[in-house]
Amino acid sequence: MTQIDLQSLTNTLKQGVIDLAKKTLKDYEDQAKADGQQTIDSMKDELETWGEELKSGQIDSDDLKDLIAGQEDLFKMTALEEAGVAAIEIDKFKSGLIELVTNTLLSII
């Protein structure tokens, strides 16, 4: 079984973060991109593990969604918080980020 291409995965996710930032936080796009990309970087080990577990059938899509959602509290949105973005808007961005990571991982399997 071939391993997932972690570099390609993170590049795809980082591009997705840029698109998500443009759609959800137009006025704070730069801060959202920075926070989102930092989150992706901080999840590299987990992304690789989860991708391999998905490929091998150790976890399914529901398990993956739960694992990623469980990481939400660890998402640091420092730039957005410093810019004064409302907590509800940050939570919407985090939810979009969870969806992005989940869908991207599922699409490579």
Q: What is the pLDDT of residue 4?
A: 79
- This prediction has a pTM of 0.90
Q: What is the pLDDT of residue 2?
A: 60
Angle at 58 between CA 56 and CA 61, to 5 degrees: 95
In angstroms, the first-to-last Cα distance of the chain is 12
Asked whether the beta carbons of 56 and 1 are under 8 A apart, the reply is yes
Give CA–CA dist 19/24, Å, rounded.
9
Per residue of the chain (109 residues), give pLDDT as tens.
467 788 999 999 999 999 999 999 999 999 999 999 999 999 999 999 999 999 999 999 999 999 999 988 889 999 999 999 999 999 999 999 999 999 999 998 7
The contacts of residue 21 (CB under 8 Å, 6+ apart) are: 28, 29, 30, 32, 33, 36, 93
Asked whether the beta carbons of 28 and 85 are under 8 A apart, the reply is yes
List the chain domain ranges: 6-108
Q: What is the pLDDT of residue 74?
A: 85
Give CA–CA dist 11/87, Å, rounded.
27
